[in-house]
């Protein structure tokens, strides 16, 4: 059996943090892992996009509920991005293995947990992301998303693996993550 055939990040107390600009492929990769791993479902105040499912894509909350949860120390990280709030609950941090975060969100990860995290940065060319974003039904314009991402990712360097191929092979990426973790 190959490493890919029997891998499970949870059994090794490993967390995979997926980071990337809009349209970079991080959701695609996360969705590939859904049958093998415990996926975090982040919280957000932004409206759902067409096809997104409550409780699967995000936990969609109104602003007051989100801020109350934040005030009650319910989040490991809670950030404002592009006018909306996003957050990872402390409960999910303790029980899940795959997370999508922003660069500012990753700064909230406790130092003692960082050793068991692999940060995978999806750094896909803007023209490809622009094309992907233009096909989405979204509350934000493509230009606004691109501009917001450029600001959010300015000087971002805290990653372990960088994906630059827009047609990356998910199985090869898993193998790369496992290799990185075990070497």
Q: Which domains does the chain possess?
A: 3-182 (3.40.50.300)
Please name every residue paired with 150 in a beta bridge, in sequence order, or none if there are none. none
Q: What is the pLDDT of residue 80?
A: 87
Q: What is the pLDDT of residue 3?
A: 44
Q: What is the pLDDT of residue 136?
A: 77
Which residues lie closer than 8 Å to 58 by C-beta, 6 or more apart? 41, 42, 43, 44, 46, 48, 52
For CA atoms 77, 61, 44, 27, give the dihedral sign: positive
From the list 12, 33, 150, 160, the residue with the least C-alpha distance to 98 is 33
Q: What is the pLDDT of residue 7?
A: 63
- SS percent in the chain: helix, strand, coil, step 5: 40, 20, 40
Q: What is the pLDDT of residue 90?
A: 95
Q: What is the pLDDT of residue 83?
A: 85
Classify the phi-psi angles of 182: left when phi > 0, otherwise alpha if psi is within -120 to 50, otherwise beta.
alpha
33 and 40 in contact (C-beta within 8 Å)? no
Strand 84-89 and strand 43-44: the pairing is antiparallel
116 and 14 in contact (C-beta within 8 Å)? yes
Q: What is the pLDDT of residue 162?
A: 97
The three-state secondary structure class of 96 is coil
pLDDT tens, per residue, the chain with 183 residues: 234 456 666 656 789 999 999 999 999 999 899 888 889 999 999 998 888 889 888 999 999 999 999 999 999 999 887 789 999 999 999 999 999 999 988 999 999 999 889 999 999 999 999 999 988 766 568 888 899 899 989 999 999 999 999 999 999 999 999 888 776
Residue 141 vs residues 13, 22, 57, 124, 146: alpha-carbon distances, Å: 39, 12, 20, 19, 9
Q: What is the pLDDT of residue 77?
A: 92
């Amino acid at each position: 059996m190959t490493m890919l055939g029997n891998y499970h990040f949870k059994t090794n107390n490993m967390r995979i943090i997926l980071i990337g600009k809009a349209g970079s492929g991080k959701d695609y990769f996360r969705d590939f892992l859904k049958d093998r791993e415990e996926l975090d479902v982040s919280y957000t105040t932004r409206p759902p996009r067409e096809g997104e499912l409550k409780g699967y894509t995000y936990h969609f909350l109104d602003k007051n509920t989100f801020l109350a949860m934040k005030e009650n120390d319910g989040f490991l990280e809670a950030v404002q991005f592009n006018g909306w709030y996003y957050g990872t609950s402390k409960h999910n941090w303790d029980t899940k293995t795959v997370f999508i975060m922003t660069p500012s969100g990753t700064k909230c990860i406790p130092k003692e947990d960082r050793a068991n995290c692999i940060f995978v940065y999806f750094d896909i060319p803007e023209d490809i992301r622009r094309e992907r974003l233009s096909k989405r039904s979204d509350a934000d314009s493509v230009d606004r998303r691109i501009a917001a991402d450029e600001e959010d990712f300015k000087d971002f360097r805290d990653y372990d693996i960088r994906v630059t191929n827009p047609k990356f092979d998910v199985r090869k990426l898993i193998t790369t993550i496992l290799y990185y973790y075990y070497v």
